[in-house]
Amino acid sequence: MAGNVGGDVSAQVADILEEYENELKDDVDAVFKQVSKETAKMVSDESPYNPNGKNPKGHYKAGWKVKKTNERDINSYTVYQANKPQLTHLLENGWVMRNGKRHEGNPHISKGEEWAESVIVSRIEAKLP
């Protein structure tokens, strides 16, 4: 009987740890989802926009989206430019113009990335019991 009681206790501990792991995964997933949405909004707000330029509708500014992927049973979120992805590098880093001068970039993506990295750990720690 003593061996059976030990088995029950270890099964109960295993169940408790599994439940804790599932709650922790849900909390971390919620933090990642929220931070990625906030990052997409921040990058969109910081994106360059020229209402008098060739594209006055702001397709680049409005094109920031969040995509959920699943890697090895862990949810991952990617902030990406859906409308004009070919412009991200140029607008972030700048480019050389025809006259040889350099057009400075607007580091809007790196600002959002740095902010997300700085806030995500503290938000996950706040969720821990």
3-state secondary structure of 82: coil
Domain count across the chain: 1
How confident is the prediction along the chain (129 residues), in pLDDT tens digits per residue? 455 555 688 888 888 888 888 888 888 899 999 999 999 999 999 988 877 777 667 888 889 999 998 877 778 899 999 999 999 999 999 999 999 999 999 999 999 999 999 999 999 888 877
The pLDDT assigned to 6 comes to 57
- Cα–Cα dist 39/61, whole Å: 13
The pLDDT assigned to 1 comes to 45
CB atoms within 10 A of CB 32: 20
Q: Which two tokens stand for residue 124?
A: 């996950």
The pLDDT assigned to 7 comes to 64
The pLDDT assigned to 97 comes to 92
| pTM listed for this prediction | 0.79
Residue 83 domain boundaries: 2-127
The pLDDT assigned to 55 comes to 67
